Amino acid sequence: MSRSLREVVFVDGVRTPFGKAGPKGIYAETRADDLVVRVIRELLRRNPALPADRVDEVAIAATTQIGDQGLTLGRTAALLAGLPKSVPGYSIDRMCAGAMTAVTTTASGIAFGAYDVAIAGGVEHMGRHPMGEGVDPNPRIVSEKLVDPSALVMGSTAENLHDRFPHLTKERADAFALASQQKFAKALANGKLGPELVPVATRSAEQGWGVATVDEPPRPQTTLEGLSTLKTPFRPHGHVTAGNAAGLNDGATGCLLAAEDVALELGLDVGMRLVGYGFVGVEPEVMGVGPVPSTERALARTGLTIEDIGLFELNEAFAVQVLAFLDHFGIADDDERVNPWGGAIAVGHPLASSGVRLMTQLSRQFAERPDVRYGLTAMCVGLGMGATVIWENPNWEGFAK
């Protein structure tokens, strides 16, 4: 029995405003699963042509699957969001690449014919659930020296990356971080960012009810002088600071994926078309280098080259990690194709949710850039992995010729 694979498209993506983790953050007293519910409902509201019973799967990622981020979140959030009880769901964990893996996993099912439409996304409430809460790492990991102890501390892995590539100086990382803040502020002022945000009702025992409508982490007042004075918490006289790394954040993302023929049948938008993806493992001690080989794998599997990529959405877990990627592929730090609307250093990185933020921004950029055919989303992943997904712009002007 032979099968032909179907084209898979990204229809739409949304996210909650991202908050700062901790007791003073906007989501301090808001449940993680309620953030996911809000995202699912908004996807259905924005796409009224999609009957709820045509959703075949809900895959939601979380790095710390405990408490209100546990209990098979994809299924429980689907029920809470009001989807028919016939719609299944599940949870997924690939740390920072959780939502990205939720997308590629469900998209593969769509391509194979197991689904027509799926919802994929992620959530992280790092205020309620710090990374690693409740875990019990096997002592063999350290005792048998499978990894250096620094591999279990993400900031330390970034310092290790600075060691491996000493030309990636703190000054260069700070300059990249400042540019991220500036690009985000400019994109926000120009209306590029905001339409993808879902207002979220919040509560506080002291202040009562509120509505979260804007991201909390950005620091538009950032200066190079200010960045140069920040402490290096992971190593005395180190390179990694709170200014050139993403913060600890809360937030949720979600997207609609569909077979292209089904999207056209239902009258759904086609934001971008999946081309291919790659996941790889690297030395956990320098996990930030992961997007380099994952991108090489994705390019090789799709027959493309780095020169074919017209837009890059790279997750800025740490500035040094993005700089290592750019250097490897011969791309300038200030290349206009890279994170044109800023990145996680400015807006935040709620771990498992971030992959869909990258995709949503790329899709919106494709709509404005018919001169660009291909774009990619990529990120480093805890415990030594890299993840890359390549997309095609359905608005590419070459299709009209």
Catalytic annotation present for 255: no
Phi first, then psi, for residue 297 (nearest 5°) are -65, -45
Catalytic residue among 96, 125, 162, 239: 96
Half-sphere exposure (CA, 13 Å, Cβ side) for 318?
Answer: 30
Cα distance between residue 384 and residue 394, in whole Å: 33
Cα distance between residue 18 and residue 197, in whole Å: 9
Residue for token digits 């493309």? 304
Distance of CA 90 to the CA centre of its chain: 19
**Token pair for residue 323?**
């700089």
Q: What share of the chain is helix, strand, coil (3-state, %, to 5)?
A: 40, 20, 40
DSSP assignment letter at 374: E
Catalytic residue among 125, 129, 255, 380: 380
Catalytic residue among 125, 129, 162, 349: 349
Cα distance between residue 65 and residue 85, in whole Å: 23
Cα distance between residue 395 and residue 270, in whole Å: 9
Cα distance between residue 33 and residue 189, in whole Å: 31
Query: By three-state DSSP, how is residue 381 classified?
Result: strand
Rg of the chain's alpha carbons, rounded to an integer?
Answer: 20
User: Under 8 Å CB-to-CB from 25, ≥6 apart: which residues?
Assistant: 19, 127, 216, 250
Half-sphere exposure (CA, 13 Å, Cβ side) for 97?
Answer: 28
**Token pair for residue 230?**
């920040």
Catalytic annotation present for 380: yes
Which residues are tagged catalytic? Answer: 96, 349, 380
